[in-house]
Chain A
């Protein structure tokens, strides 16, 4: 049957308004506060701090998780967690979490943590559906939860972030976005210290007191500087 279009329209109700401020994701500022990042490419600003003493944070399009010393917090609640920072792979409603201090994995859902018996050798750098990025003596590898090797990434000593479709890593002087069957995209940036998922389409790269936002969508890759911590 041929579809029928009504000539009526409606603005979808997001919260109380049909129109919203665009949300990019969230980042941990230099004082350890979780700040929402809003705006569009090239025009960002930081919202008011929502959580203090945040050690790690990561966001997908629909979910943001923050790790304090002893808890994982979400928009809907919190749950106790092993102490120290965390490495997240955040999906739409679930996340895989790695706790470096205890070297344990867990699955987060509905403000609950379920322990996982995953065991990998080396320094866990990032987690994604594609696997786990691990730094070993001979470089960074992507491995399965059982430790089986999937692929070799790089021998960079810098941070690594697995993406849904590719991997982002830092050399001492540049950031490299690598996707399968596509040429590397490189950005000159010295001294990257960490990389996290800022949002669905951005990675947050910390360099000293500065935080950069790298747009990771294919064909729209661009490196931006996020505004400083001024309220």
Chain B
């Protein structure tokens, strides 16, 4: 029975303790005690801190007051009143700015109809150093204050000169002076801590450099101030590569050699891809699959050049062999994966030509004379043929020239088989009687580019 009065006294206290104040460090709640010291703030700068009020009780809290009363302090919060459910929280932004060096304070207070919490907020305004940035870098007061290093070639450096001036009347100690961020570093200047006499300046240089293209950000921290550093790196344009080929006219069914070089030495080591593509003259086929780089059987090869060299290595070799195929058209060589100072695209024209015969034979078979031809027609128009059989003395046998037109068969073959214009064909002539007197045959194959004549002796 003696405990009842004590419990009756504690219950109201528990109800009153349902609000808690925190300052936020990222996502971490840091309890605010009786006072919150936000530290030094440079004169004229604005310092902001996120404040959180949390309802730690078991009943809803209606926030009727949420204020920071004090010179230089402002609070960015929801309109009042606003409810706060049990366990939930509300963040507000407490900002401070003043131009006169002094100690400033404010009363941070949160009220509900039944409860309130408060804390004292302290800020010390100090005379900050004045930062001056010289071209080619540019500065912005922001917010956030920033310094842009501009666009820089990969592996090249951009140096920015700075002055840090003590505009105050007393010696200034710079305890916090550092640069962070990939690509940025202080290359010349004092090391913290250092002092700047009243009215004096300290010079320093920040260097920005990176090997890979992209956007870079960093930070320059000077005492209470932080400046965002930005810079962009772009790949160094390669002097326009010269694509060159071994001597001799380009024709079908050739294996040719591609070499690449630079007109001037490369400023940096780079690598890329050399590609070839083919556009046939004909509409019968869309491509010629034999037109490839031979080392890999593909249409792309890696290339590289080292800094200071004009020699471009293709697939780790000094040159690359490729096939010209069996179709007239244009073979186009392009570069990708690296920026170049001009378009190096180079086009080879494979001219239309009469039918080319790689192998031809004439043979006797019982009841037949067989003519076998292996070759290609890079115009895709072959089919018209003439055969003139000759006796062993070279005299023309009747009926003389025999004309045949296999154009539909060739056309059907070329469109069905994705093999360029190569073909292997055997033409058989039924014959009766003694064939020993047939000594040879003159074969003519016509296409849109001309006539191919072949004299074959029967075996």
Contacts and interface: CB of A to CB of B under 8 A. Distances in A.
Interface stretch (A34-42, A161-169, A175-183): A34-42
Contacts of A210: 295
Interface of A: 1-12, 14, 17-23, 38-46, 201, 210, 224-230
Given A3-B432, A9-B428, A23-B424, A40 B374 contact: yes
Contacts of B321: 225
A22 B374 contact: yes
A46 B297 CA distance: 9
Contacts of B417: 21
A12 B356 CA distance: 20
B297 A2 contact: no
B429 interface: yes
Contact of B296 (A2, A9, A18, A228): A228
A4 B255 contact: no
B289 interface: yes
Given A3-B438, A9-B427, A10-B427, A44 B323 contact: yes
Contacts of A230: 292, 296-298
Give me the 5 closest cross-chain CB pairs, A-B, nearest first: A230-B297, A227-B297, A12-B426, A228-B297, A42-B253
13 contacts: A3-B434, A6-B429, A7-B399, A9-B427, A18-B406, A19-B410, A21-B419, A22-B422, A40-B253, A45-B289, A225-B255, A227-B296, A230-B298
Interface in B345-384: 356, 358-359, 369-370, 374-376
Contacts of B239: none
Contact of A22 (B289, B297, B298, B424): B424
A226 B433 CA distance: 46
A18 B430 contact: no
A161 to B, nearest CB: 21
A205 to B, nearest CB: 14
Given A3-B431, A39-B420, A228-B295, 5 more contacts: A1-B434, A5-B397, A7-B402, A12-B370, A18-B406
B236 to A, nearest CB: 32
A11 B431 contact: no
B389 interface: yes
Given A17-B413, A22-B358, A42-B255, A5 B429 contact: yes
B392 to A, nearest CB: 11
Contacts of B375: 40
A36 to B, nearest CB: 12
A46 B413 CA distance: 19
Contacts of B326: 40, 43
Nearest to B321: A225
B49 interface: no
B290 interface: yes
Contacts of A46: 297
B231 interface: no
B252 interface: yes
Interface residues of B, number: 56
B376 A19 contact: no
B141 interface: no
B427 A12 contact: yes
B404 interface: yes
Contacts of A41: 253, 358
Contacts of A12: 370, 425-428
Interface string B411-449: 001000101101111111111111101100000000000
Given A19-B424, A40-B376, A45-B289, A5 B297 contact: no
Most B CB within 10 A of own CB, among A4, A9, A226, A230: A9
Given A21-B417, A46-B297, A228-B295, A11 B425 contact: yes
B318 interface: no
Contacts of B290: 39, 43-45, 227
Nearest to B291: A43
B254 interface: yes
Contact of A40 (B358, B387, B432, B438): B358
B280 interface: no
Contacts of A229: 296-297
B227 to A, nearest CB: 53
B413 A228 contact: no
A3 B432 CA distance: 6
B294 A43 contact: no
Contacts of B358: 22, 40-41
A8 B426 contact: no
B419 A4 contact: no
A80 to B, nearest CB: 34
A19 B437 contact: no
A175 B69 CA distance: 96
Nearest to A225: B294
Contact of B294 (A5, A14, A39, A227): A227
Contacts of B142: none
A41 B389 CA distance: 28
Contact of A21 (B356, B399, B402, B424): B424
